[in-house]
Amino acid sequence: MVRVRYAPSPTGTLHIGGARTALFNYLVARHFDGQFVLRVEDTDQSRQIPGSEQAMMHGLKSLGIEWDEGPDRNDGPYGPYRVSERLGQHRAMADRLLAEHKAYRCFCTPEQLAQDRENRAAQGLPPRYSGRCRTLTTQEVQARSGERFVVRLKVPSEGETVVHDLIRGDVRFDNRVFDDFVIMKPDYTPVYNFAVAIDDYDMRISHVIRGEEHLSNTPKQIFVFEALGLPIPQFAHLPMILAPDRSKVSKRHGATAVEEYRDQGILLPALANYLLLLGWSSPNGEEILTLSEAIATFTLDRVQHTAAIYDQKKLEWMNHQYMTRLSVHEIAQSVRPFIDYPLTEGPDFEAVVDLSRERAVNLVQLAEHMRFFYEAPSRYESKGVAKHFTDQTADLLDAVAKRLKTVTPWDHDHLVQVYDDTAAALNVKRAALIHPTRLAVTGRTVGPGLFELITLLGRDAVVERINTAQNLIRRHQIPTVD
């Protein structure tokens, strides 16, 4: 059975790199009818942030990523799923390696280790443990009982270690670059590379799918598997996510955490779809894919080797696709938290959403595009005022308002006819009436089709706003905004 895992540290929020890793693991598990495990790497207590574990779980679920086993499901067959709760197993495995002379106690002081590093640096050599304690006899170790020590794994100093990577192919490491690394700290708790190997075995993980930054750790974990005689899982290291300038993605390129995207009005199904394409492509070239559709086609052999480039504009384009394709009801429910104006009076909310969403790339923008339906403009775009609010405009708007007061029924076709008839009577083009009307009614020069929006806004609001604007024009007291 395919068993994969996502193992975050509870040290912050769920960022796009971690979310992408979790998503790819989830899709592999579902594609092959396997299981997806959530494991929390909480061994570094000093870096933990209260509430981080729950926030990450919430972030994953909001993206549609569900796990089969995890710390919130204590009945899982291979738990517990917090690394801090598995110390007994880690210590037992360390004891076994000591007993089999595959690991040893190292009593070197921090000062000795620092001096060794300086000596090697002076010789132009990379930092590497000297092996001072590797050959201590049993009697010498017993004689130092009570001294502070760490446990180091005996690492082969010759040959090479090959990582058979499902994405990158065989990646070879010269064993001479590795020293006898620490597997248990002075408090007899495990370091990451030791704990993760044991936990992957105990949880029967078949495929370790993670970011490229972990590739250099993989040989060390293979050394642990080999020393314990355990089967080695298959590895797949996902390409990095870089900004367009090939730097690390940061806030200056856009949001970095899932909740930040949500707060910026990005629909989380759209974000999940975008993450899917950061390093993977559909066999049919499709870009808009639900998770169910992605599950049917997702395989690791379509994951690219080179870095994935984060593109905020592409994300916004994709978000716009979702905003126009999802049901009006779904978008209406999603945009409500972004509205900071009263909805007690005004046209039908879902109808306003439907009319306004075509021009919005996120929910924040959509909420702002909808504002004039519920709030009369208090300021008018300065460029529009300079172009469309001339002295003559007041007379044109007055003529339009008089005709709008009597038009029946108040619908799109009859409103078009009113503007055609008024323009003909005044011997002007229809645009000479439409542009000032839009600015008077909305305070803006662009937006939905004029006749659609005034149909929805209603006679009373439209006539009142036109009259307000023409009075301001006559008094030369038009408040503007850039």
For residue 128, the number of C-alpha atoms closer than 13 Å in the C-beta half-sphere is: 16
| Domain's final residue, options 238, 270, 290 | 238
Determine the pLDDT at residue 255: 65
> Is 293 inside a domain boundary?
no
Q: What parts of the chain have a pLDDT lower than 70?
A: 74, 251, 253-255
Range of the domain at 133: 85-238
User: How many structural domains does the chain have?
Assistant: 2
Q: Mention every residue, 6+ apart, whose C-beta is less than 8 A from residue 416.
A: 451
pTM over the 0.85 mark? yes
Amino acid at 261: Y
> Is 233 inside a domain boundary?
yes
Determine the pLDDT at residue 391: 87
Q: Checking phi first, is residue 250 left (phi over 0); if not, alpha (psi -120 to 50) or beta?
A: beta
> Is 316 inside a domain boundary?
no
Distance, in Å, from the CA atom of 193 to the CA atom of 196, rounded to the nearest integer, reads 5
Distance, in Å, from the CA atom of 33 to the CA atom of 409, rounded to the nearest integer, reads 59
> Is 257 inside a domain boundary?
no
CATH number at residue 472: 1.10.10.350
235: three-class secondary structure by DSSP: strand
> Is 25 inside a domain boundary?
no
> Is 419 inside a domain boundary?
yes
| Domain's final residue, options 208, 238, 268 | 238
Phi, psi of 17 (to 5 degrees): -65, -50
Determine the pLDDT at residue 249: 80
Sign of CA dihedral 256, 259, 265, 269: positive
The CA-CA-CA angle for residues 8, 152, 159, to 5°, reads 95
| Domain's final residue, options 179, 205, 238 | 238
Answer for the pair 197, 183: CB distance below 8 angstroms, yes or no: no
> Is 230 inside a domain boundary?
yes
Distance, in Å, from the CA atom of 415 to the CA atom of 475, rounded to the nearest integer, reads 28
Residues taking part in catalysis: 251
Determine the pLDDT at residue 49: 87
> Is 285 inside a domain boundary?
no
Task: Kindly state the DSSP code that residue 190 receives in the 8-state scheme.
Answer: B
CATH number at residue 166: 3.40.50.620
